[in-house]
Every structure is written in C-alpha cells, then in structure tokens.
Structure 1
Amino acid sequence: MSEVTGTFDFMPIGQAIKKARERSGITREQLAEQLDITPRHLQSI
C-alpha cells in the first residue's frame, strides 16, 4: 500500500458547493442542517 503525502486544496470543492447551494436557493445554515453538520464546519470546507 502506498503512503499519501502532501496537502489537498479543498477550495475548488468549497466553491462548487457554494455555487450549487446558491442555485438551489438555500442558506449555508440550511445546508449544514441537511448534512447534520455545523455551519462553521461547512464554512471550513
């Protein structure tokens, strides 16, 4: 098994989530509730 090294840039994922959320017309708080996570956790993605 190979070892994973380095870091991963989550920025493109976060931007895609934000665009999809805005197209759906829901707030960050509503999405966080649907995902059963805190809005702060969602913001950190």
Structure 2
Amino acid sequence: MTAAIDPKRIRERVGLSQAEFAARYRLSRDTVRGWEAGRALSGSARIL
C-alpha cells in the first residue's frame, strides 16, 4: 500500500508559494500547479 502524496500540503508546510516552490526545485510553475490539481505525479514528485 502506498501513501497518498499531497503536493499542496507539502508546499504549504514549507511556507512557499507555487512560484517559489517551482524555482527552488527547478520545476515549472505549471508542473506544480498540475500536481496540485491532481494530475499524474512524476518521479520527481515522489521524492519530495
């Protein structure tokens, strides 16, 4: 059984905006927005 990943919760816990989170982890803001909208998480999301 795998635990559900909640990217928005992770981002909010570290106190970053979507833009700040994307910049820190070298992602596009659209990628972060997609994760938070429930679109498929890539391998990079799983390591967070």
TM-score range, shorter chain: 0.5 to 0.7
**CA RMSD, Structure 1 to Structure 2 (Å):** 1.4
Structure 2 portions without partners, runs of 5+ = 36-48
Q: TM-score, length-normalised on structure 2?
A: 0.52
% identical equivalent positions: 22
Q: TM-score, length-normalised on structure 1?
A: 0.55
Count of residues in Structure 1 that have an aligned counterpart in Structure 2? 32
Structure 1 portions without partners, runs of 5+ = 1-11
Runs of 4+ aligned residues of structure 1 deviating over 6 Å after TM superposition are none
In our comparison, the structure showing a higher alpha carbon Rg is: 1
